[in-house]
Amino acid sequence: MAEEKEKKKELAPELKELLKAGFELEWRKELRRAKPVKERMKIPRRKMPQREPEERNRDFEEVNQGLPEEEAVFEAQRCLDCANPQCVLGCPVAIDIPGFIKLIEKGDFEGSTRKLKETNSLPAICGRVCPQESQCEEVCTLKKSTGVSVGIGNLERFAADFERRSGKVFMPPIAPDTGKRAAIIGAGPAGLTVAGELVKKGHRVTVFEALHISGGVLVYGIPEFRLPKAILKAEVDYLRRLGAEVKTNFVVGKTATLDDLRAQGFQVFFIGSGAGLPNWMKVPGENLVGVYSANEYLTRVNLMKAYDFPNYDTPVVRSKRAAVIGGGNVAMDSVRTALRLGAEKAMIIYRRSRHEMPAREEEVKHAEEEGIEFHFLTVPTRYIGDDKGRVKAMECLRMELGEPDASGRRRPIPVKGSEFTSEVDLVVCAIGQSPNPLIAQTTDGLKIGKWGNVEVDWQTMATSLPGVYAGGDIVRGGATVILAMGDGRIAAGEMDRYLRAL
């Protein structure tokens, strides 16, 4: 997808100052003195409590249960409070990680959330769905010396959950009303981040959402068992209380174009409309009944609550033998959903090997524990239907790995004569999404890249149109929640400057 400019591996000077000031705080020094590094290194990483696989694989309740207070404090003690914390560099939004962790160690859980929220408006969500193992935890100093990083994500989740459960949600100070109006298109992770930042700076913010519930991929894509919807609702309510207006059932590009909104008095825009266009393999039989895009399958189950059919009116195919094509997080979500909806056999069909799978290790592990079958180096070539046009089988081909391709992963090559047929009554195609074209089609002068992505200047997230910014999957294709939020933070800063200069 879009080529991102190599991220600077240096922290901004102001941020360095802030981190240093935190490091020098008297209580932080005391904590460091009270427990020497050697002792901290001996504490084993606290395990995230999980529901048993055979209990959880038939319902939609959350799998991870969160660290209890005592365990969280233990885990926080593992953090060495480095003078030069690498984890902050590994975080796309540069959270003051030692800062919030040491507040947990100190027992100031509310302060910890406040610290998190200085840079991350959605910590309860990031603590659950961020790929920490390849970001902050990957570069953790403790990992370098002991092999096991601090459970940064688990701690982030702990702090955010503590605040939400306490009911005492901290309201940040709001700058005086500037009277300037910002339109945010799409209430997903990018848009919600921008909205939160701009409203704190005193601007009048309206978020336009096409669906009837805010959250974007967090609500239609990520299942309840990974991210309970109540958490998302709390975050959106919080934004509303801060003063942002959220208009659902409003499709920018249809209900009103960006130019219409400009005519209505909006002065700055953020396009965060996401990767709402499913990719297909374009193999025969893909339009048979029972073959879904992951977007549709997950939307039916998550947004429309098809798992509770007929209490809810939206149906979804209940499968006995389900095949999910793909090896990313969306594929894991889909296959685990199929299992929970009663599939006796739920399979991942992936064209490369386990090593190349883009899904998070935790998701793969959870899937394996729950009894998901993995078929690596396999690719479907055709779906076969019954006399009613319903999928009843798929024809597959075995692959072997050849030379590395442009992505650095070894390219799968078909093995001649390896065709085989497998019975399936559900196929979910989870091979990625492309940017949704609705806004591109209806906004004159907006520069679009060759993949349909909105083109931006990566330093500012500005598009080719003045006062129009973009971020998240609409510029990246299918990426992650935290990258979308990182884009949102950069864009919000620029949008604030833009509005103030008007």
Partner 1 sequence: MAKVIHRQRLVPNIHWLELQAPEVAAKCQPGQFVIVMPDERGERIPLTIADWDAERGTVSMVFMCVGTSTHKLSLLNPGDEIPVFVGPLGRPSEIKNFGTVICAGGCFGIAAIHPIARALKAAGNRVVTLLDVKANYLLYWEDKLRAVSDSLHVSARDEFFDCKDYIPRKLELLLEEEKDASLVVAIGCTYLMYRCSQATKPKGVKTTVSLNPIMVDGTGMCGACRVTVGGQTKFACVDGPDFDGHQVDWDELFARRKSYFEDEIRSLCAWEKEVYP
**Omega within 30 of 0 (cis) for the link into 310:** yes
314 binds partner 1 (CB under 8 A): yes
Name the residue nearer to partner 1 (CB basis): 138 or 296: 296
* 2-41 footprint of partner 1 as x/- string (CB under 8 A): ----------------------------------------
Measured from the CB atom, is 106 or 305 closer to partner 1?
305
210 near partner 1 (CB under 8 A): yes
438 to 497, contacts with partner 1 by CB under 8 A? Answer: 438
Q: How far is the CB of 394 from partner 1 (least distance, A)?
A: 17
Q: Is 342 in the site for partner 1 (CB under 8 A)?
A: no
Compute the distance between CA of residue 434 and CA of residue 482 in angstroms, rounded to an integer.
18
Q: Which secondary-structure segment (H or E) carries 229?
A: helix 229-242
Question: In whole angstroms, how close is the CB of 282 to partner 1 at the nearest point?
Answer: 8
Please say whether the beta carbons of 192 and 161 come within 8 A.
no
**Tokens describing residue 499:** 């509005």
| Listed ranges 7-15, 281-289, 408-416, 469-477: which one lies at the site for partner 1 (CB under 8 A) | 281-289
CA distances from 302 to 307, 326, 331, 494 (A): 8, 19, 15, 34
Please tell me the count of residues contacting partner 1 according to CB under 8 A. Answer: 43
DSSP state of 501: H
Q: Which of 7, 212, 447, 500 binds partner 1 (CB under 8 A)?
A: 212
Q: Which of 37, 82, 277, 283 binds partner 1 (CB under 8 A)?
A: 277
Across 318-472, where does the E strand assignment appear?
A: 321-325, 345-349, 373-375, 378-385, 391-404, 410-414, 420-423, 426-429, 433-434, 468-470
- Of the ranges 19-27, 139-147, 229-237, 433-441, which one interacts with partner 1 (CB under 8 A)? 433-441
Q: Does 384 bind partner 1 (CB under 8 A)?
A: no
As a whole number of angstroms, the distance between CA 486 and CA 421 comes to 44
| Stretch binding partner 1 (CB under 8 A), from 108-116, 384-392, 397-405, 444-452 | 384-392
For 448, how many CA atoms within 13 A lie in the half-sphere containing its CB? 19
Span of 270-278, 342-350, 419-427, 479-487 interacting with partner 1 by CB under 8 A: 270-278
Q: Which of 171, 311, 407, 417 binds partner 1 (CB under 8 A)?
A: 311
Task: Please provide the distance, in angstroms rounded to a whole number, between the alpha carbons at the two ends of the chain.
Answer: 34
From 72-80, 272-280, 400-408, 467-475, give the range in contact with partner 1 by CB under 8 A: 272-280
Please say which residue, 306 or 465, places its beta carbon nearer to partner 1: 306
Q: Show the 3-state SS of 54-94.
A: HHHCCCCCCCECCCCHHHHHHHHHHCCCCCCCHHHHHCCCC
Q: Which is nearer to partner 1, 311 or 459 (CB)?
A: 311
Residue 310 touches partner 1, criterion: CB under 8 A: yes
Distance CA 26, CA 17 (A): 16
Nearer to partner 1, 182 or 304 (CB): 304
**Interface pick for partner 1 out of 87, 130, 258, 304 (rule CB under 8 A):** 304
Please give the angle made by the CA atoms of 305, 313 and 383, to the nearest 5 degrees: 75
Out of 245, 296, 373, 455, the residue judged to bind partner 1 by CB under 8 A: 296
CA distance 183 to 221: 24
* 36, 284, 315, 404: residue in contact with partner 1 (rule CB under 8 A): 315
Sheet of 204-208: strand order equals 245-247, 204-208, 181-185, 268-271, 468-470
CA–CA separation, 31 and 106 (whole Å): 8
Using the minimum distance from each CB to partner 1, give the nearer residue, 132 or 434: 434
DSSP string, 426-448: EEEE-S-EE---HHHHHSTT--B
Selected range binding partner 1 among 48-56, 250-258, 406-414, 460-468, rule: CB under 8 A: 250-258
The site for partner 1 (CB under 8 A) is made up of 210-212, 220, 249-251, 254-256, 276-278, 280, 282, 286-290, 292-293, 295-296, 299-300, 304-305, 309-315, 317, 385, 388-390, 436-438
